[in-house]
Structure 1
Amino acid sequence: MVRVKKVKHKKWFKIFAPPYFGKVEVGEALAAEPKELVGRTVEVTLSDLTNDFSKQHVKLKLKVKEADGENVTTDVCHFEISLPYLARLVRKRVTLIDEVYKVETKDARKMK
């Protein structure tokens, strides 16, 4: 007798930004169950979240932290400023100084 694999039908789930960005929809993801989305990352620009075109050079990586029903919530896990933007700021006879700090936020999260 031939064994038949059961196919799980996948659905589209809406991904939302954190509440401090106004819970803006940042995309959709395909999965069979919402719990499969936990841990995935989505990359967006800050201008997509704030509708401010002058913030186009800032990229954010949002990591899915919670999935309930059709909606998925995220949290910021990475923050980056594009290299062409930095190169435009640094001109001749100007030195770019990179500093790395370890800080703790008000909600007791450690960031580097």
Structure 2
Amino acid sequence: MYYCDIINYFISKNLLRFKRALSRAVKDKWRQKEWFEAQLPRYFGESKLGETPAEDPNKIVGRVLETTLSQITGDFSQEYLKLYFQITSVDGHQAKTVFKGHEYLRDYLRSLIRRRSTKIDGIFMVNTIDGYKLKSLILKPHLNL
């Protein structure tokens, strides 16, 4: 064996080790993600709702985004109402949403009921003309006299 062959053998062996180490290296998945801008539906003004990251545009379809009514309208007195929007489609880096539902914050509902009173709940399932099902919860404080 020649001296040159021995050197080539060690170089090729180290090169294989280096390639294996590179293939096992942890890749940062956060850098591979792109940011998509979610837009409000037309009946809310089609303004920007927020941004969400994803590796693939198809992975954000179906995600539910949460915001408050005060962030949409700019009126701080409506901070107690949470709105949910679901992403339905993606066009480029723009994600289209539809209104999914809403709920009141627990703190707000508790503030409506005072001491020495009972709470009367009425839960009704309502079908709208356009085919949506609504579950309405009616709260009425009832005074014990």
Same topology, TM > 0.5: yes
Could you tell me the percent identity over the aligned residues? 37
Amino acid at match of 2:116: R
Superposed, 1:16-31 pairs within 5 Å as 16-31=39-54
Query: What are the superposed Cα offsets for residues 60-107 of structure 1, whole Å, 9 maximum, x if unpaired?
Result: 121111211111111222311111111111112333222222112342
Q: What residue ranges of structure 1 are gaps of 5+ in the alignment? A: none
RMSD of aligned Cα (Å):
2.4
TM-score by length of 1: 0.83
Aligned pair partner of 2:123 in 94, 97, 100: 100
Q: What residue ranges of structure 2 are gaps of 5+ in the alignment? A: 1-15, 136-145
**Is 2:89 the partner of 1:36?**
no
Counterpart residue number, 2:38: 15
Greater Rg by CA: 2
Query: What are the superposed Cα offsets for residues 12-58 of structure 1, whole Å, 9 maximum, x if unpaired?
Result: 10011222111121210111222110111111001111111111000
C-alpha distance in 2 between matches for 1:24 and 1:100:
33
Greater helix proportion: 2
| Structure showing greater relative contact order (alpha-carbon pairs closer than 8 Å, 6 or more residues apart) | 1
Give the length in aligned residue pairs.
112
